[in-house]
Structure 1
Amino acid sequence: MTTHSLSPDILSALEGAVGRNGLTADTAGMAKYLGDWAGDYRGGALAVLRPGSVADVQALMRLCCELGLGVIPQGGNTGLVSGAIDTNDASLVVVSLERLNTIRRIDPDNFTLEADAGCVLQTIKDASEAEDCLFPLALGAQGSCQIGGNAATNAGGVNVLRYGMARDLILGLEVVLADGELWNGFSGLRKNNSGYDLKQLFIGSEGTLGIITGVEVKLFPKPARVETAYLGLASFEAAVALFNRARRACSDLISAFEIIGSECIELARLIEPGMTAPVAASVQVLIELSSGPNIDLNGLLAGFLTDAMEDGLVIDAVLAASGAQARAFWSIREGLVEGQAKRGYHVRTDLSVRISDIPALIERARRFVATEHPGWIALAYGHAGDGNIHFNVLPPLDLPEAEARARGAEVTAGLYDIAVSLGGSISAEHGIGRSRRREFWDGLSPAHRRMVAALKTALDPKGLMNPGCLLPSMETLP
């Protein structure tokens, strides 16, 4: 890891930009900002800056631009691809947005909300609900991830098939550019066909073009009715067929459609030992419908499931009789993710294919693991309604971690190859970060590379914004 130090004069200047409480340069104070929650990445930095206002962000960016100092924007630090942690270069500063955490405005008449980038997603969801509205972005990390980070990574989650990714939920952004200039892209308009949609440049850019300081999002009417069912099926082919049927029978009332391979259930029990899956089947589906007050949602879902069972598509089904039972169903889905982290290092992927290719992806990936890496345990689950499968692989428990990580890189490469061979993507929702940068860049066409490089050069000519993330160094850009 490359390491440098800051002179007392530069430290004093940085402190002047963000205030005494906004700068941390000691090892202990910086520790929580330099490691990810899963324990996969550990990095370094010259200092952690915690601006308390948008003006502070502008001041520190003007200073960093003058000094040529690289900046890593950081939200809730819940990412999984080392987008907010540099494991190779400690000559940068981390800019945490955690102190910019105010909800600026809620407008239930126009179904919009404006918030500082450091607002925790759950806070935004709770504030929306208090106004009888819904902000539908839903992630396992919603209690700690921040809306600015959600925008910068184009976060997904369980409700994408109905409401879309973060990109689809954002009306406007406020961004501090690399030279400290402020761009305010708020308007509150649902339709604005006035040239380039500049906010889209920053959504999914992972902090490589500027620092998002404010987000304006769409709200929706809070559903009056929610129905949840947990299903057992014989195969992933049956799960995809069921989803296609559900889309036609239930239309856009479907808010979630999750598939879980039965092999994942033991991981959920690591979090909740007494947990029992509602059904016993090799493939399990969690389906949720939501609507306004005047729809017989229970009757719709029950009738749909009755028909699917009579046709042999569904083996078993449990329709939640209460909100508590529905939450218990969801705890299985959430617990299996936490269980993997508790077990230790594992290969984690975030693959995306066409919905119809989900069975082929899982079948080929399972065969690859069984043939090339015997003893490793393959797990398949994900947001089947939008083609996003998390195909993860656990190493044998007795394999030393260093060897497991080395072998894990081979497993990951093989899984990426399978997804790409099906016309898919190596990143459905987690982003590229630093851990997938080479695979991402190698997979781009020359024209795609030139356009990306042109944007980076235009908005960040000195290459100060999150260097090493998403893109290769400025010197190697076309």
Structure 2
Amino acid sequence: MNDVVGALAGAVGMSHVIHDAAAMVPYLTDWRGRYTGRAIAVVKPGNTRETADVVRICASARVPMVPQGGNTGLCGGATPLADGESVVISMARMNRIRAVDGANNALVAEAGCTLAAVQQAAEAASRLFPLSLASEGSCLVGGNISTNAGGVQVLRYGNMRELVLGVEVVLPDGRIWDGLRALRKDNTGYDLKQLFIGAEGTLGIVTAAALKLFPRPRSSATAWVAVPDPQAAVALLALLRDRCGERVNAFELVGRPALELVLRHIPAMRAPLAGAHDWHVLVEVADALDGAALDDMLERAIAGAIETGLAVDGAVASSLGQARALWSLRENISEAQKIEGVSIKHDISVPVSRIPEFLQRARAALTAMWPDVRIVAFGHIGDGNLHYNLSMPGAFDNAGFVARTGEVNRIVHDLVAALNGSISAEHGIGQLKRDENARYKSDVELDLMWTVKRALDPHGLMNPGKVV
């Protein structure tokens, strides 16, 4: 292994190879602290050619490789295994915006750019890159692509798969595929870029991407609305889309336990409405209309919802500061949960129309087994994606409950499958759901996935132990 480390240092420079055990620690544990692995070294290439050299060195020595972005993933997909046989390839140094083409509504960003940097580059060109995540200041574009990230504006703009026009990829044998074509139409055969979006680095390393931009809205309006139940929330979404059309950017469901955790653990957070409500939605609309007209449109829609019983109460933000405060309530749910303690987390999707059924049936099944279970349900109801997280109020009881994660997952995931849903909507598979994925995929799907994997990575060196 000393020969491998020496060769890597020759490829990228000794200062960009970390092989001291203490210095590697931040790269070896996932964001949740659930997975901790070991590695031969962490290497940080500075450009595509160096990345290809690193891959060739590892491939020649049959050393497994673990591509890593900002290490903000939630399923252990960028964490090496415990065997200590892998090299972690961090893309953090590849952080240039290579080009911005306003006329074509596209930009090219390297994999190590933060999502926030891409958003800022788009804004500087009076454009919008709409992917928006709570971790946008630290997550990297390569990781967003590898996990097919979603976020709060999928309802209007789609997830990462819809936002990528082309990719540059280092293949498992070290060859470079330049697929950075910023085209909306390219009907020349298989759409190869789609193989690498959502593949979590198991088929190659994305080093750069051509990303789709949009006209920047002139104004937005944000509201927090209390609804009587999830069925009313789904009906309210239909009403808003009828009244506001494609201006509806985001439609987030927040259950009462989720809001209470934020108010308890995050400083300076305030309840947006008087009284206690079991269910809330956070709505954002955006358009080229002036702000007053957009506010009026949203206020009228919410007033109509209250009159018909689809909403109980609501408040439209009267300033940018108020809008940000409302979004902070939603964006800090995960952080508040982390402070509260370990929970059993699910990132599921079902058809929007079946979200109320899922919530009702899942609660019934879980409380029959664990009457005191705390259900923290929130997420992107507009596209059918819920974060459905479970714990017990007391630490001692919760430890025993978490030990039964397999039983809990079986209840939740079996129901998701019965409703024609997915056990992973936007977080990926990684190590966390690899075995679960095999349970719910058909034999034909699994065979197709393995066929692709073997064709591109016959020695199984790219991010082993993940996805398949």
Q: TM-score, normalised by structure 2?
A: 0.96
| 1:289 corresponds to | 285
| 1:339 paired residue among 323, 336, 340 | 336
Larger mean CA deviation between 290-299 and 104-113 belongs to: 290-299
* Structure 2 residue 154 is matched with structure 1 residue 157: no
The Cα of 1:273 is off from its aligned counterpart by 4.2
1:308 paired residue among 300, 305, 308: 305
Please say if residues 180 and 210 of structure 2, whose CA atoms lie closer than 8 Å, have aligned partners that are also in contact. yes
Structure 1 residues 302-311 or 25-34, which shifts more? 302-311
- Counterpart of 1:49? 43
Q: How does 1:449-468 map to 2 (within 5 A)?
A: 449-468=446-465
- Which secondary structure state, in structure 2, belongs to the residue aligned with residue 118 of structure 1? coil
Query: d(CA) in 2 for partners of 1:22 and 1:273?
Result: 38
How far apart are the structure 1 equivalents of 2:188 and 2:265?
A: 50
Shift of 1:231: 0.3
User: 2:318 aligns to what?
Assistant: 321
1:426-473 deviations in Å (ceiling 9; x for gaps): 0000011111011112222222122111111111111111111001xx
Structure 1 distance, partners of 2:140, 2:194, is 18
Q: CA deviation at 1:419?
A: 1.1
CA deviation vs aligned residue, 1:103-132 (integer Å, no higher than 9, x gap):
111111211110110000011111111211
Partners of 1:264 and 1:388 in 2: CA distance: 16
Q: Which runs of 5+ in 1 are unaligned?
A: 1-5, 472-478
Find the aligned partners of 2:394 and 2:116 in 1 and give their Cα distance.
35
Name the CA distance, whole Å, in 1 between partners of 2:361 and 2:309: 25
1:143-177, CA deviations, whole angstroms, 9 ceiling, x for partnerless residues?
10000110011000000010000000000000000
Per-residue deviation at 1:376?
2.6
- Separation in 1 of the partners of 2:290 and 2:328? 29
- Is 2:428 aligned against 1:431? yes
Cα distance in 1 for partners of 2:221, 2:450 equals: 47
> 2:97 aligned with 1:100, yes or no?
no
Cα distance in 1 for partners of 2:40, 2:106 equals 38
4+ aligned runs moved over 4 Å, structure 1: none
Counterpart of 2:72, as a letter, is T
Moved more, 269-278 or 132-141: 269-278
Matched residue type, 2:12: V
* Deviations, residues 67-97 of structure 1 (Å, cap 9, x unaligned): 1110010001111111011344321111000
Count of residues in Structure 1 that have an aligned counterpart in Structure 2: 465
Could you list the per-position Cα deviations for residues 343-400 of structure 1 after superposition, in whole angstroms to 9, with x for gaps in the alignment? 1211111010000110111112222222212333111111000000111012343327
2:5 is aligned to 11
AA of the residue aligned to 2:287: S
CA contact (8 A) 2:67 2:78 kept: yes
2:388 maps to 1:422 = no
Which whole-Å CA distance do the structure 2 matches of 1:15 and 1:247 have between them? Answer: 55
Q: Where does residue 395 of structure 1 map in the other structure?
A: 392
Partners of 2:11 and 2:185 lie apart in 1 by 37
Over aligned residues, Cα RMSD in angstroms?
Answer: 1.4
Alignment of 1:348-427 (within 5 A): 348-399=345-396, 403-427=400-424
Query: Aligned to 1:85, what secondary structure does the other structure show?
Result: coil
- The counterpart of 2:220, out of the listed 226, 243, 249, is 226
Note the C-alpha offset of 1:402: 5.5
**1:217 corresponds to which of 200, 211, 214:** 211
Q: What SS does structure 1 have at the residue aligned with 2:403?
A: helix
2:258, 2:377 within 8 Å by CA — same for their partners in 1?
Answer: yes
Distance 2:395 2:441 in 1: 38
On the 8 A contact 2:429/2:467 being kept in 1, the answer is yes
SS in 2 for 1:399: helix
Structure 2: which amino acid aligns with 1:282?
Answer: D
Counterpart check, 1:178 vs 2:175: no
Residue 307 of structure 1, CA deviation: 1.3
Greater alpha carbon shift after TM alignment, 453-462 vs 142-151: 453-462
CA distance in 2, matches of 1:153, 1:261: 26
The code of the aligned residue for 1:177 comes to L
In 2 relative to 1, CA 401–73 (structure 1 residues): closer, same or farther, beyond 3 Å? Answer: farther
Deviation at 1:276, TM superposition (A): 2.6
Partner of 2:260: 266
Work out the CA distance in 2 between the residues paired with 1:468 and 1:227.
44
Query: Aligned letter for 1:291?
Result: D
Deviates more, 1:408-417 or 1:342-351: 408-417
1:369–1:378 CA contact under 8 A, matched in 2? no
Alignment partners' CA distance in 1, 2:393 and 2:294: 45
Unaligned runs of 5+ in 2: none
Distance 1:89 1:122 in 2: 34
Task: Check whether the contact 1:264–1:336 (CA below 8 A) recurs between aligned residues.
Answer: yes
Q: Could you tell me whether the CA contact under 8 Å between 1:249 and 1:304 is conserved in 2?
A: yes
3-state DSSP class of the match of 1:155? coil
Partner amino acid, structure 2, of 1:302: E
Residue 401 (structure 1) shift: 7.0
Whether the 8 Å CA contact 1:154–1:429 is kept in 2: the answer is yes
Query: Aligned AA for 1:128?
Result: A
User: Distance in 2 between the 1:398 and 1:111 partners?
Assistant: 50
CA distance in 2, matches of 1:274, 1:452: 47
In the alignment, residue 290 of structure 1 is paired with which amino acid?
A: A
Deviates more, 1:276-285 or 1:52-61: 276-285
Deviations along 1:403-425, whole A, 9 cap, x unmatched? Answer: 44312332223211121121111
Distance 1:432 1:245 in 2: 34
**Partners of 1:138 and 1:351 in 2: how far apart?**
19
CA distance in 2, matches of 1:187, 1:265: 43
2:272 and 2:397 map into 1 onto residues whose CA distance is 36
**In the superposition, relative to structure 1, how do residues 445 and 189 fare at CA in structure 2: closer, same or farther (>3 Å)?**
same
Contact in 1 for aligned 2:36/2:82 (Cα 8 Å): no
